[in-house]
């Protein structure tokens, strides 16, 4: 029996110590209060320690958490209708935002005209993380974060491109840099088509696509300028 559970009643205490039943009752209550405070502190410490361990595990192993940084299935292929770059419309044709993966899924129609041909085209498609589907269409998954200072970049139907609201960096439908202060093209994730699922690995980011030039640009700039 511990110190927190007096083995005798207040009346017995009175007999033994002559302190009176009242004094014994007060002593008992003090012990109970001290015990309560100690248990509360232990509970708070336990919760804090558990949270700290969970946070550290999340930082070390984001792939296990199912959140950003993990492999995510973002929909069925049938939900992403392909289109020519000139016909893209957010959530309707060619370009789809998936906030859970912080990504845009781009689906270019099978007969999309690229500026490059042959081996140069294949090499550039590969370095920009394009995935060719069995039906001949192309997929890319672009990171929504502007590579200048990190604002989320919206797609603008009215000028068929991504235009950053913060300092104006501008990217075409394949994420290639057009103008503004961005130091490179938009980053992109590794993505795969698994059966009829569109799967994005948000833990694998390609941040190496440089400003394009005439030997690397895949898609011509949009014909319509973005107004403010």
Distance of closest approach, residue 153 Cβ to ligand FES, in angstroms = 7
Beta bridge partners of 156: 161
DSSP string, 22-67: HHHHHHHHHHHHHHHHHHHHHHHHHHHHHHHHHHHHHHH-GGGTTS
Asked if residue 168 binds ligand FES (CB under 6 A), the reply is yes
20 binds ligand FES (CB under 6 A): no
Picking from 145, 133, 134, 146, the residue whose alpha carbon sits closest to that of residue 191 is: 133
Long-range contacts of 163-166 (CB under 8 A, 24+ apart): 163/226
Q: Is 151 in the site for ligand FES (CB under 6 A)?
A: yes
Could you say which of 136, 181, 183, 220 contacts ligand FES (CB under 6 A)? 181
Alpha-carbon distance 7 to 151, whole Å?
Answer: 66
Take residue 55 and report the two structure tokens written for it.
């946070």
Instruction: Using the minimum distance from each CB to ligand FES, give the nearer residue, 107 or 163.
Output: 163
**H helix or E strand, kind and range, residue 74:** strand 71-76
Which residues lie below 8 Å from residue 94, measured CB to CB, with a gap of 6+? 81, 82, 83, 84, 85, 87, 88, 106, 107, 108, 109, 173
169 binds ligand FES (CB under 6 A): yes
**Sequence-separated (6 or more) residues with CB below 8 Å from residue 32:** 4
Residue 164 lies near ligand FES (rule: CB under 6 A)? yes
Number of residues that bind ligand FES (CB under 6 A): 13
User: Which candidate, 67, 70, 4, places its Cα nearest to that of 35?
Assistant: 4
- Least separation in angstroms between CB 163 and ligand FES: 9
CB of 146 to ligand FES, least distance (A): 3
- Which residue lies nearer to ligand FES by CB, 46 or 150? 150
- Quote the least distance from Cβ 106 to ligand FES, whole Å: 19
Q: Which of 5, 167, 194, 224: binder of ligand FES (CB under 6 A)?
A: 167
Q: Which is nearer to ligand FES, 1 or 228 (CB)?
A: 228
x/- binding map, residues 110-149, to ligand FES, per CB under 6 A?
------------------------------------x-xx
Query: Does residue 183 belong to the site contacting ligand FES (CB under 6 A)?
Result: no
Residue 180 touches ligand FES, criterion: CB under 6 A: yes
Q: CA–CA separation, 196 vs 206, rounded Å? A: 24
Decide: 7 and 1 in contact? Cβ < 8 Å.
Answer: yes
199 sits near ligand FES (criterion: CB under 6 A): no
Can you give the binding site for ligand FES, defined by CB under 6 A? 146, 148-151, 164, 166-169, 180-182
């Amino acid at each position: 029996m511990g110190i927190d559970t007096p083995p005798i009643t207040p009346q017995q205490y009175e007999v033994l110590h002559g302190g009176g039943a009242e004094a014994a009752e007060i002593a008992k209550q003090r012990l109970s209060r001290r015990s309560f405070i100690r248990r509360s502190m232990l509970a708070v410490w336990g919760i804090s320690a558990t949270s700290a361990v969970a946070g550290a595990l999340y930082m070390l192993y984001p792939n296990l958490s199912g959140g950003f940084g993990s492999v995510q299935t973002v929909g069925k292929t049938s939900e992403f209708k392909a289109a020519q770059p000139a016909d893209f419309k957010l959530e309707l044709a060619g370009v789809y935002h998936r906030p859970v993966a912080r990504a845009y899924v781009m689906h270019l129609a099978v007969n999309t005209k690229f500026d490059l041909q042959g081996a140069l085209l294949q090499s550039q498609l590969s370095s920009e993380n394009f995935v060719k589907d069995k039906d001949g269409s192309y997929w890319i998954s672009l990171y929504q974060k502007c590579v200048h200072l990190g604002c989320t970049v919206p797609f603008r139907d009215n000028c068929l491109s991504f235009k950053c609201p913060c300092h104006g960096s501008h990217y075409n439908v394949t994420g290639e840099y057009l103008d503004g202060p961005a130091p490179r093209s938009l980053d992109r994730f590794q993505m795969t088509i698994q059966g009829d699922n569109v799967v994005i690995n948000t833990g694998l980011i390609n941040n190496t696509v440089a400003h394009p030039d005439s030997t690397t640009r895949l898609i011509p700039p949009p014909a319509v300028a973005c107004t403010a």
